[in-house]
A and B are shown apart, each in its own frame.
Chain A
């Protein structure tokens, strides 16, 4: 019955893998790479703003055009290519283990999701080498993103994000199905760990929000490449429509990012406070409510667009409502660690520092939700400070907490705690040094998205301080990278290094490819903790030992995404006038686009006609591994 399966090694193993743990690591590697690229862009931004415009009228480092490109790519990279994949990497690494599943529901789709994201990100960044980088801000407002005001860079933005967006949508659907269908026996919805819950709600938001982005990007692409006029006012289009479409996606997007971060905090705090999560059911309720409200508030990004008082007031009130479920969460976290037996590991340091930092970002958020006040804050550095407090202070701090917490489970090695604490203090102090003062820069009148400013307006010192802080953050990230490299030779991780509460700690680190030899029987919330409190060392199995069905690795997702990548280039350059006639006859037409799409469709065809039933790991093999 068992047939031998082709096992790949080395690079081929990574390209063909459908194992959620390996895909999680791939997401981490790619997301980490883009995080570093986005970080370098951030450093360049801060370096440029370190000094005001010189007396000779010369900018000291970057030209305005270069600055716009770096600023656009910093925002786009950090949101779509760093934060999203790191979140997905975490979901991949943790969610199936937390619900007691052997893999995600659709391992093939999981791989496809990663590769489309990766090729989308690569396509976007290739613009650095072709010389036409997106320079339209990460929001790509029309008509700036139209053909009249921007070049091929905007095509890179639209096509790159379109391809990367497919990956996100696919991943979101995959996790919805996984969490609904693949929970271990006894794991009811209200026994799911909170990270799984937040991943579930986040996937739901992805399902509803990303189509809006896909549609918007198609409009932009059609405007640019096929002379449509969705956003061209002169021919009857409406440029404000793009703002609405973008923010109908864009606002849920920030909750897509922050909810799993909330979930990770809700895992780290109970573990290191040795108390169960305070108010579990209200946490679930608050998460669902945030997910729901996230679709009702998009226009608060557009108060100054001229929607009128009533729209502004209503969207302002709707926005303030979000502070309620968020407040529920903050108080629950505080009560969780209240009176707990706290161990300040690196993960716990990141997690506890997250709470006040995120609250500060949240409070400025409520300030911005007041329309009359927003007219003052709008497009100033106050806004920059606000969203960096929620994104860096919220998402990045909790991601780092999660990384230090789950690293042993993902890689089977411990990260160094001393270096971890160094990285924390460098990053944390650097973060506040960089961004706290930007609130005041905004209130002192400094507009955002400017590449330089005149001296002696009272902004010089503050900008200098802010840049110094950025270098502290960079130092923190470098220490983390050193920590990661050292951990390759670091101490081997035990199965349960933190005295954990949830199912992922009941299996070896790193977990075997089938995760659970026998699916565990879940008897309540914090399933593993319950068993430990009953004096058991491991979970009670819910099934006899039997052969485990595994999916076969496949190279098709890689080529499907490669096809889209090639087709993307084809579409971008089909109407482009190249200098050389030879190159023009090769690339200046539809051949490349057709070729790329053909690759994708052939892969889809192969996937459809060839049945691959996977393989089994037999009982003897399982016993041999002990």
Chain B
């Protein structure tokens, strides 16, 4: 029973079968690299503290996107609702924080 190559491709896109380790290995290397960068930035005393803070937050955002896209399969088809709910939850949380900080405590 040899499966048709196109069918396999299609099913990979739909997320019904696993695509193999390639993307995960790439994502893993990038994750490690981002983590290393963050450690290096913090360890480097020559850098400005404010710069380090902003820099590692940006790294963290990239890290989160990669983790979600590859490890949590958000890039695959059929994840619309997961993305929708993550986005809504993030939006609600961020709005609440912004309101709390700038409206209530300011």
Contact = CB atoms under 8 A, between A and B. Distances in A.
Interface residues of B, number: 13
Contacts of B85: 176, 204, 207
B4 to A, nearest CB: 27
Determine chain B's interface SS by DSSP, over half rule. Answer: helix
Interface string B16-51: 000000000000000000000000000000000000
Nearest to A177: B81
B96 A248 contact: yes
Given A248-B96, A295-B96, A296-B95, A207 B89 contact: yes
Contacts of B92: 208, 295
B81 A244 contact: no
Contacts of B68: none
Given A208-B88, A208-B92, A299 B104 contact: yes
Interface string B83-106: 001001100110110011001101
A307 B89 CA distance: 25
B81 A296 contact: no
Interface string A208-248: 10000000000000000000000000000000000010001
A310 B88 contact: no
A308 B88 CA distance: 29
A318 B53 CA distance: 33
Contacts of A542: none
A307 B104 contact: yes
B103 A311 contact: yes
A301 to B, nearest CB: 12
A253 to B, nearest CB: 14
B103 A314 contact: yes
A315 interface: yes
Nearest to A311: B103
A450 interface: no
B74 to A, nearest CB: 16
B103 A315 contact: yes
Contacts of B89: 207-208
Nearest to B81: A180
Contacts of B104: 244, 299, 307-308, 311
Contacts of A296: 95, 99
Nearest to B80: A180
Nearest to B89: A208
Contacts of A311: 103-104, 106
A308 B102 CA distance: 11
16 contacts: A176-B85, A204-B85, A204-B88, A208-B88, A299-B99, A299-B103, A299-B104, A307-B103, A307-B104, A308-B104, A308-B106, A310-B103, A310-B106, A311-B103, A311-B104, A314-B99
Which 7 pairs between the two chains have the least Cβ-Cβ distance? Answer: A311-B103, A295-B92, A311-B104, A307-B104, A208-B92, A180-B81, A314-B103
Given A295-B92, A314-B103, 12 more contacts: A180-B81, A207-B89, A208-B89, A208-B92, A244-B100, A296-B95, A299-B104, A307-B104, A310-B106, A311-B104, A311-B106, A315-B103
